[in-house]
Amino acid sequence: MIKLIFNICLFFLIPLITFSQEIKEEENQAKTLFGFQYSLVYPLNIVQNNDILQQVDSTTLLEINNKRSYMFGMEIRQYFTHIFSLQTGINFIRRNYDNTVTNDSISTSRLQFIGYEIPCMLLAYLRLTKNIYMDNAVGFSANFYPSDVVIPHFYGMRKRWTNIGLLANVGWEFRNTNSGIFYLGMSYQYQFKYMFQTLYFKNDVTGTENSRNNIGGSYFSLNFKYFFPQNSKKR
């Protein structure tokens, strides 16, 4: 009987000890982390179609395709508990658009539109193994566009200098006290308003444009992040 009671107590005690050790490990970790990210940005036209195919006149066909772009920057993560944290930072993003004009001949060009993003996301974690975590995040991004862009026959005119986007994110990270945090994840940003307009001129970028199209800024991204190791709290 005593052995049975001992085994029952042990059955319930081991998970509690393990859980308390995990909590201590989390509490001993640094509350603020600094890191950087690099992202491959892909067009995702399911929600918002950013590709243009337009018959400008009887002899001219205009095609604008949103191509793969990139983004990089730094991030700050502030832990509130072992489950929730807040993440922000600043990123540089360059969006690439290929233009094809078909009339007597075919001419191609690339419009590169740059911007800066300040995301703010609330993260929730699920511990999968001792060092591997899955996290989900939601939040918003303040997007800034510093200038218009001009190339031969095209003028990229920003609709506004700032735009707000909704962010959703899922990812996995490997945590190591000495090496830091290595992260791989995916994000989707939906921007509520158009990012800029493309103006097409058959002759030169002067006078009245022959075509004007709105371009949205929503995208899907594949994210690689690294957070530097920090000194643990001393008990």
Is pLDDT at 61 greater than 70 in this prediction? yes
Is pLDDT at 17 greater than 80 in this prediction? no
Cα–Cα dist 130/175, whole Å? 9
Domain span holding position 71: 31-227
Express each pLDDT in 146-176 by its tens digit.
999 998 889 899 988 899 999 999 999 999 9
Please tell me whether residues 12 and 120 are part of one structural domain: no
Q: What is the mean pLDDT of the chain?
A: 83
Is pLDDT at 20 greater than 70 in this prediction? no
Per DSSP, 210 falls in state S
Task: Name the percent of the chain lying above pLDDT 70.
Answer: 82
Query: What's residue 123's pLDDT?
Result: 95
Domain count, the chain: 2
Please tell me whether residues 18 and 64 are part of one structural domain: no
Please tell me whether residues 147 and 207 are part of one structural domain: yes
Query: What's residue 125's pLDDT?
Result: 92
Please tell me whether residues 127 and 219 are part of one structural domain: yes
> What's the mean pLDDT in 36-51?
81
Please tell me whether residues 188 and 109 are part of one structural domain: yes
Query: What's residue 5's pLDDT?
Result: 37
What CATH number corresponds to the domain at position 62?
2.40.160.20
Query: What's residue 116's pLDDT?
Result: 96
Express each pLDDT in 103-130 by its tens digit.
888 889 999 999 999 999 999 999 999 8
Residue 232 covered by a domain: no
Cα–Cα dist 199/72, whole Å? 28
Ordered alpha helix ranges (H), the chain: 2-28
Please tell me whether residues 204 and 223 are part of one structural domain: yes
Lowest mean pLDDT among 70-74, 168-172, 193-197: 193-197
Cα–Cα dist 199/62, whole Å? 11
Is pLDDT at 228 greater than 60 in this prediction? yes
Please tell me whether residues 52 and 123 are part of one structural domain: yes
Lowest mean pLDDT among 46-50, 82-86, 98-102: 46-50
Please tell me whether residues 7 and 112 are part of one structural domain: no
Query: What's residue 47's pLDDT?
Result: 60
